[in-house]
Structure 1
Amino acid sequence: MVKRILHSTYFKVSLFVISFAMVFISCDNKNDDVGDEELVEEFEDVEESEEAEDKTYKLPQIDLSHWKVTLPIGNPTEVKPPEILSYATNETLKPFFYNDSINGALVFYAYPHSTTANTSYSRTELRELMKPDEGENANWTFGEGGYMKGTLAMDEISKDSKGKYHRSIIMQIHGRLTNAQRDLIGQKDNNAPPMLKIYWVDGKVRVKTKILKDLNASDVDVLKTDSWGDDVGYTFSEYVGFEKFTLEVKVANGKMEVILNGKHSRVYDDIHIQKWHVFENYFKAGNYLSSIDSGAFAKVKYYDLVVKH
């Protein structure tokens, strides 16, 4: 009799435990189902967000309507407005002058090949055209002044046989003779020296300018390229490496100033600048690779570029 009671009690307790466990499992499964649904919804949201990001792109802040570009191919090849405005679909330009739409930059790619007159180096470089309808005949003097600002970065550049990076000119102020000056000195073209060259050299920004070899040179002799030499140069202390940086070039009130990242400045206001006022000038920006080594190349990225007069 006692055994029968114990068996009956044991059976009832076991049945209660099993029932409670089933209820608990059922509730837990329901919670899992809810969690799974939430995870699925979150995953779908992430997918939609990634797809939205994939559809977005950035463009460089550069108005090309007053620039022409020279390429390291052809004789060399030049593309002017309005054709340059369609650079993204221009098959000639695409290999050398194209958008990095992820970072919002315009890429300038160059390697040793075709060159312009008076140099042995190749370039993918913009040349300012103040009045595109007049071609290269409209320029500015130091008395009139000018301002250029760009945000840029060295993206990639090759190394020489000693393991040192090649260098590239990333900004310039180039001189130009008027037709009357050209004829006066009997020169076949309008070329004059570049008053300013700004280089990327081993991760730093280096500035080179022109100095008059003979300060007593005549008004005629001062127009000749061989009357001008190079200064010793100046290298900013800040290391920019392959990161984005900003350059400003200001010409006003009889002086020229180069500013790096809004805080480092180099001013030129000596007799050589005063003597330079005889020339017309134009701005240049891009990638002027200073190497003829086999396999040399460079890619410079410009995020924005503005010129004012």
Structure 2
Amino acid sequence: MVEQEEIQEEVEIIEETPEEVVEETFLLPNIDLSNWKVTLPTGSPDEVEPPEISDYATDDRLLPYMYNDSTDGALVFYTSPGSSTNNSSYSRTELREQLVPGSNSTNWTFTEGGTMKGTLAVDEISKDAEGKYHRTIIMQIHGRLTNAQRDLIEEDDNNAPPILKIYWQNGKIRVLTKVLNDLTASDEEILHTDAWSDNDGYTFSEEIGTNKFILEIIASEGRLEIILNETESIIYEDIHMEKWGVFENYFKAGNYLQTKDEGSFARVKFYNLEVTH
């Protein structure tokens, strides 16, 4: 017998691992634009209403001023000095509530009530020549005359004062509401814009800086409440709020820059925005 020597060759098997695939995640804001139009700092000024506003991600008119930041799921409102509305000298990229899409004629009263709640951040804003931050309005409740009220006081438009303006100012949230100059004014007299003035205002204690925060507005008959980060709130419940009940109202949200300084700008991010009535 001839012994056969079995020679086993050790073969090194190298398993190739596929290249690591990095999946990009795109985040979108939680905002339904069906009942909002937007005003831009361009044109005279330009406005985009529903349903066209829903195509903002591909609309060349909107792209420089209203666009998605898909890295953190925000809808960005960018503005700098440019075109302004008839009743202001400042520019804005700001949403205006429309209860009936495409129409400004249907609005709500404090008796009917309404809430607006948003998560947002003012992550970039310019400074003035002295190194102080500019300020911007991020939320509002604006008044509106009915057609009958407009005709009664012989006005050219339906504009009424904003009962509420909420500012990002020096890294804090500041609130201004209106007070009636003369509490004995007649029902007709209080319809005039110059019958109302800003109150002394209220600044929330929390410093929010450029961080994300939650802001909620609750309007009801004779009462207005503003809540920051679900912890600190300011309530207005007085004769001025009662008198305000004569007006119709609508919510506004976005970036209404309060300066015309050359080179100034602001960028406001909204992560979600909800309105209920």
User: TM-score if structure 2 supplies the norm length?
Assistant: 0.94
Specify whether residues 260 and 222 from structure 1 end up closer, same or farther in structure 2 by C-alpha distance, changes over 3 A only.
Answer: same
Matched, 1:243 2:211: yes
Partner of 2:33: 64
Match for residue 80 of structure 1 among 45, 49, 56: 49
- Structure 1 SS opposite 2:122: strand
Partner of 1:27: none
Q: Distance in 2 between matches of 1:278 and 1:256?
A: 15
- Structure 2 SS opposite 1:180: helix
Matched, 1:255 2:226: no
Partner of 2:128: 160
Partner of 1:308: 276
Q: Deviations over 1:110-141 (max 9, x none)?
A: 001100011100000000000115x0000000
- Structure 2 SS opposite 1:72: coil
Partner of 1:211: 179
- Structure 2 SS opposite 1:141: coil
Partner of 1:276: 244
Q: Deviations over 1:26-85 (max 9, x none)?
A: xxxx9xx89xx68x74x83xx31xx21x2x200000000000000000000000001000
Q: Which has the larger radius of gyration?
A: 1
Q: Distance in 2 between matches of 1:294 and 1:213?
A: 35
Gaps of 5+ in 2: 1-10
Q: Distance in 2 between matches of 1:72 and 1:251?
A: 29
Matched AA of 1:189? D
Q: CA deviation at 1:254?
A: 2.6
Partner of 1:138: 106
Matched AA of 2:69? D
Matched AA of 2:149? Q
Q: Distance in 2 between matches of 1:88 and 1:119?
A: 28
Matched AA of 1:92? R
Partner of 2:76: 107
Q: Distance in 1 between matches of 2:121 and 2:261?
A: 22
Q: Deviations over 1:208-261 (max 9, x none)?
A: 000000000011110000000010000000000000000000012431100000
Matched AA of 1:68? K
Q: Contact between 2:138 and 2:166, CA under 8 Å: does it hold in 1?
A: yes
Match for residue 165 of structure 2 among 197, 205, 210: 197
- Structure 2 SS opposite 1:278: coil
Matched AA of 2:161? P
- Structure 1 SS opposite 2:34: helix
Q: Distance in 1 between matches of 2:165 and 2:231?
A: 20
Q: CA deviation at 1:264?
A: 0.5
Matched AA of 1:85? S
Q: Deviations over 1:157-179 (max 9, x none)?
A: 00001100000000000000000
Q: How many residues get paired?
A: 268
Q: Distance in 1 between matches of 2:73 and 2:90?
A: 28
Q: Distance in 1 between matches of 2:170 and 2:72?
A: 23
Q: CA deviation at 1:305?
A: 0.2
Q: CA deviation at 1:201?
A: 0.3
More helix by share: 1
Matched AA of 1:181? Q
Matched, 1:180 2:148: yes
Q: Distance in 1 between matches of 2:63 and 2:141?
A: 26
Q: Distance in 2 between matches of 1:287 and 1:252?
A: 25
**Runs of 4+ with >3 A deviation:** none
Q: Distance in 2 between matches of 1:101 and 1:124?
A: 19
Q: Distance in 1 between matches of 2:267 and 2:154?
A: 38
Gaps of 5+ in 1: 1-29
Q: Contact between 2:221 and 2:242, CA under 8 Å: does it hold in 1?
A: no
Partner of 1:129: 98
Matched AA of 1:300? V
